[in-house]
Structure 1
Amino acid sequence: MSSASPSGTGIIYASFDRFPAPKGAAVHIRAFVEALGAAFGGVDLLALRDGSTVSTGPLALAEGVTYHPMEARGRDLVAQALSFRAHLAGWWRGRPKAAVVHVRSIFEGYPVARRKEALTDALVFEVNGLPSIELKYHHPDVAEDAELLRKLVAQEDLCISRADLLVTPSEVTAEYLVKRGADAGRVKVIPNGVDLDVFRYAPPRAWDADRPVRLLYSGTMTSWQGVHHAIEACRLLRRDVPAVLTLVGPLRRNGRRALMDRCGDLLLEGAVEILEPLPQAELARLHHACDVVLVPLPVNDRNCVQGCCPLKLLEAMATGTPVVASNLPVVRTLAGPDEVMLIRPGSPKAISEAVKALRADATLGPALSAKARARVERDFPWGRAQTSLVSAYEEAFGMARASTRRSTSASASD
């Protein structure tokens, strides 16, 4: 990586994600662009306009950050991606060369990688997930499209090879990127963070035999996240104790129908409630109203080969509600057995037994809770992730902070 300062102007942070939105991706984007804006200034954020965002023009988002809402129209993912790329190209036309372009996926990254020398001095590829692995979970109908998969892999390979810095939140993902040909010296692991002022700590609720055990699952309602294991665990648990499962996350129309079919008798019995994504403050309050948070990630290529950094695990640990999570490498890098209950992946029975163990031992939950919160405060506040990102820019590109540039300018004029 070069330490020479970029000659281009400003930082462009582009993402094929809805912003602002209650999803983890939007939280991550805000944390990163705010850090870059405060440190270096001149950040342009290009992201999909959320339906609730009225304005389509530039918006001052934070210190040194301007948000440019983008459109992505089309009936399917490919059409939407091409539409997004067209809007990006229109925005970019006639603008000066950027110092750094920071992308989060191939959907915006591939066109930049192809024309890197003309568009930017440096390219940052932030890898939270790769479509060649993840697409089949979101869009099963394309899983057998070999030609599409070949194109996705080729575009990923180009972005990986042309990136001057690869940022990822997971050690597992970092290892996978190196196997895909990335220079290990260009890979920087920056785990996700938690807003500790929003996800405040509260001791676990005292167990009460007169009320149902309240379980919480938040996040994507798909098999690769293990929502089906959470549902089956609730069904098993109810054979022995009253229990209610709250599911929080985005759902497409077909996904909602499939989820309700899977819940079946639990819905009829009032044992499952399904909620749309919540603002972070409301989600934190919901954590405090529950007895156990479930993070039942199964064994699959998304979780075990590509890797991930489950933000919902860190947020749950921060709130103090006891957590039952799959014993996978992506979990163990964030939490140990004295901080969360680690259970066999893919086993609703193991989840049910862990919840019953928490219920049977009044000291277990508080002990896990306190250590989990301490771990998050030490290792996973957003401030630490933001500092790591800014340092990575300084080390990789020799970029000077805005405050340093102002001081140098003032000294030169004296």
Structure 2
Amino acid sequence: MSPLYRNLRLTCRTVIENLADDPFHFILQTSRRLPARLVIPAARRFLGGTPKGSIAVPVLVAELLSGNQTGLQRRLELALQRKPLPRSAVKLADIALSAQQPGYADRLLAGSSGRKGHPAVLARRRWYSGSVSDAIAALAGEEEPAGGRKGQRQRLESEAELLRGWTPKLRSAPMVPVPDRVLHLLTNSLPHTRSGYAQRSHSILLAQKEAGWEPLAVTRVGYPVMVGKIAARGEDVVDGVTYRRLLPAKLAPTPTGRLQQQAEELLQLALEFRPSVIHTTTHYVNGLVARAVANALGIPWVYEVRGQLADTWASTRGPEAIKSERYTLFQEREADLMQSADLVVTLGEAMKKNIMAARVPEEKIIIAPNAVGGEYLREPLDLADARIQLGLDPDDQIIGTVSSLVPYEGLDDLIDAFTLLAPVFPRLKLLIVGSGVSLPSLKEQARRSGLASRITFTGLVTPNLARAYHQALDVFVVPRKDLDVTRSVTPLKPVEAMASGRPVVASDLPALAEIVHNGHTGLLAPADDPAALADVVAPLLQNAVLRDALGDAGRQRVLATRTWAANAAATVRSYQAIAEDQSRRAR
């Protein structure tokens, strides 16, 4: 079977499964992989040709794709007033759920019980809020549910198995490891995904290679074909780092089946590569596979905790989510994996405290903070030169950020703060670099502010351009919301901004306070308060000497304490220690 034909089969299977399982969510996710400059205007043009009172399903889908939450909510309210036919109500509830509007979904589902599609949407609604058992029960009314509902029930039952303790089963396969070889299991990677996760992974791999180790990276089964990269090959080499892909001819139909498939394929690859250590990252599905393969081979494994992913999930659901069945089970799985790993790596002190609270011994934890290397170690460009390179006006004042555009980043607060600053600083511009689920709603917010001509969204950019944008800003802003996840997880981009010599203003949260020392390497502002954020940014816009002093101090601190080379040195020392310990125990 040719690689392209195999990839087409995997893609078609993925599309069919997702359309049957959660059609409106799949449409939304697919739209986000297309250029926003095409999707959003097209959706708005479509809406411009429809009646303002329309509650037709295609019209609400267009509102969803445009990012206009206000418009979507208005039409959902109209639908509730008009009491649509039950079959339409089910579809509208599904759209509301895809838009993270569970209250509207509940009201629409209340009047459509027993109608076609109702159990599937009800199950999604319960799963959304973390009610694992109730979600499965919603689909258990018929012995042989048809089509998509059968696949949906199998998937949810499999997801529940994962949460409740399932693990891959592998036969023992002892091998003689080669010293100084490490196998990394990753969720995604360059060159197909350009996220902070992928960039951190690549920086770690490069630094370990430069430290004398031989790293090999392997991504999850089906990636990157399952995210639309149909022409993907079985191997990519980026900056001399090898990324291997697990692309079988056919994927198992359930999450547990796919993880079993992934574990078996990773074991075979590991027997060829013969690593002395396996290293993987959150979340727990990666840990399950890495642990199973390491145990089969008789070598140690490392769990790198890059985020509090149960808290990330809960941050979009409201405070009641932390009491849900899914949240509790998710945390238990993470704790089990951290406890069973030979070494736990994490990003900062706040995360370390959370890990220790899960009964992981302190001596088993090391901190490898988000850091810089490569071009960030070079002297940054002058502000004017960076702007000329990017086609920006050197005489403007520009604040902004380089970030994933997701709700907890608080970029809506940044836009609100900008609207307060703009009348005072007539040459002030706002620059938001990056992409993510919040892009459509942020663009809509910018349009409603009346200042859209002074707000620029670049979309996703290359790492080289991201570095130039860092250097082109007068002030780099990190306006994260005050949530459990943001209080503990330290992001990468402000570290890169400090390395670029730019002053950073960040939300006053424990994880960010580890990076930005208030008044010395940057400034902290109260979270969730656009007016307070504007008050902290304004003096920096008025004082170039202060901007330069904070920028210089931030760069010196990063170069002294946060480099990938220093991280690699500490990590490989720990690799050697756990490999030697494993060897002694095996004798």
On the 8 A contact 2:475/2:505 being kept in 1, the answer is yes
Work out which of the residue numbers 37, 42, 67 in structure 1 matches 2:243.
Answer: 67
Change (3 A) 1:17 1:261: same
**CA separation in 2, counterparts of 1:244 and 1:84?**
47
1:145 to partner: Cα distance: 9.7
Work out which of the residue numbers 309, 313, 329 in structure 2 matches 1:131.
Answer: 309
Equivalent in the alignment of 1:351: 533
1:264 to partner: Cα distance: 3.0
**CA separation in 2, counterparts of 1:85 and 1:198?**
40
Work out which of the residue numbers 269, 283, 289 in structure 1 matches 2:472.
Answer: 289
Equivalent in the alignment of 1:227: 411
Residue 35 in structure 1 maps to residue 213 in structure 2 = no
Residue 201 in structure 1 maps to residue 380 in structure 2 = yes
- 1:209-235 Cα offsets, whole Å, 9 max, x none, are 995431112212123122121111111
Change (3 A) 1:381 1:51: farther
1:37 to partner: Cα distance: 3.7
Equivalent in the alignment of 1:386: 568
Change (3 A) 1:309 1:94: closer
Equivalent in the alignment of 1:99: 276
1:4-403 alignment, distance < 5 Å: 7-9=176-178, 10-20=181-191, 21-39=193-211, 41-47=213-219, 48-49=223-224, 54-61=231-238, 66-70=242-246, 83=258, 86-93=261-268, 95-96=270-271, 98-105=275-282, 106-114=284-292, 116-137=294-315, 146-195=324-373, 197-198=375-376, 200-202=379-381, 212-242=396-426, 243-252=428-437, 255-266=438-449, 269-304=452-487, 307-336=488-517, 337-398=519-580
1:285 to partner: Cα distance: 1.3
Structure 1, unpaired ranges of 5+: 1-5, 400-414
Letter in 2 for 1:222: V
Structure 2 residue matching 1:309: 3-state secondary structure:
coil
Structure 1 residue matching 2:544: 3-state secondary structure:
coil
Change (3 A) 1:198 1:338: closer
**CA separation in 2, counterparts of 1:191 and 1:73?**
38
**CA separation in 2, counterparts of 1:72 and 1:356?**
55
1:107 to partner: Cα distance: 2.1
Structure 1 residue matching 2:217: 3-state secondary structure:
strand
**CA separation in 2, counterparts of 1:131 and 1:289?**
32
**CA separation in 2, counterparts of 1:94 and 1:30?**
20
Which piece of structure 1 moves more, 347-356 or 65-74? Answer: 65-74
On the 8 A contact 2:413/2:529 being kept in 1, the answer is yes
Letter in 2 for 1:241: F
Change (3 A) 1:238 1:85: farther
Equivalent in the alignment of 2:155: none
- 1:233-272 Cα offsets, whole Å, 9 max, x none, are 11111132233211112224xx333222332334664122
Change (3 A) 1:61 1:264: closer
Change (3 A) 1:88 1:249: farther
Change (3 A) 1:84 1:331: same
1:282 to partner: Cα distance: 0.7
**CA separation in 2, counterparts of 1:322 and 1:102?**
35
On the 8 A contact 2:183/2:278 being kept in 1, the answer is yes
1:120 to partner: Cα distance: 4.2
**CA separation in 2, counterparts of 1:230 and 1:80?**
38
From the two aligned structures, give the one with the greater strand fraction. 1
Alignment: residue pair count: 383
**CA separation in 2, counterparts of 1:179 and 1:287?**
36
Change (3 A) 1:342 1:144: closer
**CA separation in 1, counterparts of 2:422 and 2:463?**
29
Letter in 2 for 1:66: T
- 1:321-355 Cα offsets, whole Å, 9 max, x none, are 22211222212222322111222222211221222
Higher RCO, Cα 8 Å, sep 6+ = 1
1:159 to partner: Cα distance: 0.9
Equivalent in the alignment of 1:3: none
Equivalent in the alignment of 1:404: none
Change (3 A) 1:101 1:13: same
Which piece of structure 1 moves more, 124-133 or 243-252? Answer: 243-252
From the two aligned structures, give the one with the greater helix fraction. 2
Change (3 A) 1:202 1:371: farther
On the 8 A contact 1:229/1:346 being kept in 2, the answer is yes
On the 8 A contact 1:202/1:320 being kept in 2, the answer is no
**CA separation in 1, counterparts of 2:204 and 2:213?**
12
Which piece of structure 1 moves more, 115-124 or 382-391? Answer: 115-124
Change (3 A) 1:40 1:350: same
- 1:63-88 Cα offsets, whole Å, 9 max, x none, are 6x5320246999xxx97796466345
**CA separation in 2, counterparts of 1:351 and 1:322?**
14
1:41 to partner: Cα distance: 4.3
Equivalent in the alignment of 1:408: none
Structure 2 residue matching 1:197: 3-state secondary structure:
helix
What is the Cα-based RMSD across aligned positions, in Å?
3.3
